[in-house]
Structure 1
Amino acid sequence: MVLVVDALDPKDKASVTRPEPLPSLAGAGRGELCAALTSVGVPDKQLRMRVNQLWSWMYVRGVPSFDAMTDVSKDLRARLAERYSLDRPEIVSEQVSQDGTRKWLLRLRRSGTEVAAPEIETVYIPESDRGTLCISSQVGCTLTCTFCHTGTQRLVRNLSADEIVAQILVARDRIGDWPDAVAPDDGRLLPSTERKITNIVLMGMGEPLYNFDNVKAAMAIASDGEGLSVSKRRITLSTSGVVPEIARWGGEAQTMLAISLHAVRDDLRNELVPINKKYPISELLDACRSYPGLSNARRITFEYVMLKGVNDSLADAKALVQLLKGIPAKINLIPFNPWPGSQYECSDWEQIERFAEVVNKAGYASPVRTPRGRDIFAACGQLKSESLKIRASARGGSVAQSGTAGSGQGA
């Protein structure tokens, strides 16, 4: 099932003149809300109260316009609406998998230097007792991991903090995850929990630690107890191994951590995850052992994609157990999700089970991640928006072509 939201014929678009959109406060932090209120003449002594009012309407109730803010004066609502909006990123397409996984291709606002608006993908994965939102932190990626389709899309730019938060707002809009909202009536799985988005994983497009400050600011908004209220214990940042930023992230952001490991030898990891050439396995694991707050209650998740004949031998399983010795850890075994042009195949299921048995016997939880959303290319790492860089000599910024959901291996 694919819902195409933007169905205007490209030939017709050229003749349509659209006014320049107002700046959106959707995804804004308290500081930005304070600045916006100051700009429309709110006195200093009222700022804190007004910020709290807007914050509650935006992040507790999820209202899409200032008109809905009934405890804010009509005059202030009108002044805000003259200069700002609460518009979300445009949904270019929405796909719903047979298993209930939902994927949105989102078109961001064009920045002042971009000749066209870049696009990203966001995925919602429902289970009976939880709902996980996989969000992106960059348009494209710099890491070129060979098993990941996202890595074949060159980096366009970092996402701003509000663009990261706005993915949460779009998802909550679409699945009816606000008070008194109506859930979609499409017969697909949604959790039985009161909140439909219970977990957030930074496992979409991009390497989040290469966009540290914006990701940190966005997760502060997501975890704010007076707003979206997602517990930091339910937020997981996944990194391919930006070693110098790992301890800083744990100390400042205090979320859960996942490591895209995928190999037990440097020579193989150099091929699969090229950042390993800069930060080899030994340095990466040293950073994990000193991760702030690490304990049996706050284990690190190690992600390990199962590639047939590449990293799936029983010797690899035994080496993995030895590598992680002394680190409170969970090991997620991820059946490889194929994508067009990939050089790899998924390990045979029997081999995955044998690999998991070795890890389990060593005392590590090693769930095999059930592929979700494969039919809409929303499975782990199958994200690619087709946004491209154009050569600096020919651009005033980045170009984003029509986004077709592709595939990769990081979500």
Structure 2
Amino acid sequence: MQKTDLKNLSLRETKDLFLELGEKEYRGEQVFNFIHKNMETSISKITALSKTLRDKLKKNYTIGDISILERYDSKIDDTKKYLFLLEDGNIIESVAMKYKYGISACISTQVGCRMGCVFCASTKEGLVRNLTPGEILSEVYNIQKDLNTKLSNIVLMGSGEPLDNYENVIKFLNILHDSKGQNFGYRNVTLSTCGVVPKIYKLADEDIPITLSISLHSPFDEERKKIMPIGNKYKIEEILAACYYYIEKTNRRVTFEYTVINGVNDRKEDLEELSRILKGLLCHVNLIPLNPIEEYNKIKANGNAIKEFKDGLNQNGIATTVRREMGSDINAACGQLRRKYVKG
């Protein structure tokens, strides 16, 4: 019989488990604190419990973990990329980036991805499986332990579509936020989605004020469909309507990610249409230089073109910045490290 992973349980679920075992409720809080605040991974080390109770727990329960398979350190900045080995042999990746305000981690939510965006390496082998809440938490905990510091920000922008793993991602966020664990602020978390419209509405109703980031990449439906298959299911106007609802419910600014591709979405008409559709929306545009992959031979727009695009949006009243390229010497594009390792 497969053992239950205690790391997947919320505080309430952990307390209820101990009540079912005939123990006091506070024992559950002790175990939750041990797992999520102390980031320990062995039941044997929960010294707040008697050895008898620990041995009883070990028969049917475990504390799941992932291990660092490789760590790549950039020589040009303080970016670190991690390849993590899951207990079933699958591999995921995460990135830790150092900023003036602290360290931000880019975290994966799935093994692979089924969204099919043409410029993203993560999706090329399709979706293998969803990550559990405990596995997503383990990315955070392992990075913090490796760097011996608490992360200041977390972005769900690694491999996978977070809203395609909705229940596990929401549980991850709630456990991470719990005051008996990491007590990590919701406002320091950003979730990136390619635009799964029904789940954006659902997320807005969760009462968890994280930052929503939309992978847009074109202001025209027909062009967006060519690079993002999700565009065949949800029109841009539907995504924008969901964003208005999200802002209304959370009072949080929405970010739009826009990978600038030479001759594809950096034209004058793209600038004008993007300015038009975002006018009046509480938002910010983050321009991203294209990270080329072998299956997509387009080239990124040059620095001057990106600057002109940024300046044009700002002049039109759309707050816009260019994402800083980090870790470019360690194969920084999302999904590339995992694919390279798996292929050998």
* Same-fold status (TM-score > 0.5): yes
TM-score by length of 2: 0.91
Assess, with a 3 A threshold, how the Cα gap between structure 1 residues 349 and 285 changes in structure 2: closer, same or farther: same
2:82 alignment partner in structure 1: 104
Stretch moving more, 216-225 or 94-103: 94-103
- Larger RCO (CA under 8 A, 6+ residues apart): 1
User: How far off is 1:404 after superposition?
Assistant: 6.1
CA distance in 2, matches of 1:298, 1:383: 32
User: How far off is 1:106 after superposition?
Assistant: 1.6
Given that 1:104 and 1:123 are in contact with CA atoms closer than 8 Å, whether structure 2 keeps it comes out as yes
1:282 alignment partner in structure 2: 237
2:30 alignment partner in structure 1: 53
CA distance in 2, matches of 1:63, 1:375: 33
CA distance in 1, matches of 2:175, 2:277: 36
Stretch moving more, 262-271 or 123-132: 123-132
**How many pairs align?**
342
Assess, with a 3 A threshold, how the Cα gap between structure 1 residues 303 and 402 changes in structure 2: closer, same or farther: closer
Assess, with a 3 A threshold, how the Cα gap between structure 1 residues 364 and 292 changes in structure 2: closer, same or farther: closer
Which of 11, 16, 28 is the matching residue for 1:30? 11
User: How far off is 1:145 after superposition?
Assistant: 0.7
Give the root-mean-square deviation of aligned CA atoms: 2.4
The letter of the residue matching 2:318 is: Y
Secondary structure (helix, strand or coil) at the match of 2:163 reads helix
Matched, 1:163 2:135: yes
Matched, 1:153 2:125: yes
1:132 alignment partner in structure 2: 104
Q: How does 1:256-295 map to 2 (within 5 A)?
A: 256-291=211-246, 293=248
Secondary structure (helix, strand or coil) at the match of 1:403 reads helix
TM-score by length of 1: 0.77
Stretch moving more, 67-76 or 211-220: 67-76
The letter of the residue matching 2:6 is: L
Per-residue deviation, residues 374-407 of structure 1 (Å, max 9, x unmatched): 222234x344634xxxxxxxxxxxxxx95369xx
Q: Percent identity?
A: 34
User: How far off is 1:126 after superposition?
Assistant: 1.6
Matched, 1:385 2:338: yes
Matched, 1:89 2:66: yes
Assess, with a 3 A threshold, how the Cα gap between structure 1 residues 370 and 130 changes in structure 2: closer, same or farther: same
User: How far off is 1:364 after superposition?
Assistant: 2.7
CA distance in 2, matches of 1:158, 1:382: 15
User: How far off is 1:22 after superposition?
Assistant: 6.3
User: How far off is 1:355 after superposition?
Assistant: 0.6
Per-residue deviation, residues 54-92 of structure 1 (Å, max 9, x unmatched): 122222222233344343333323433454443521222
1:333 alignment partner in structure 2: 287
User: How far off is 1:277 after superposition?
Assistant: 1.1
Stretch moving more, 276-285 or 247-256: 247-256
Given that 1:29 and 1:162 are in contact with CA atoms closer than 8 Å, whether structure 2 keeps it comes out as no
CA distance in 1, matches of 2:47, 2:129: 38
By percentage of residues, which structure has more helix? 2
Secondary structure (helix, strand or coil) at the match of 2:320 reads coil
CA distance in 2, matches of 1:285, 1:219: 24
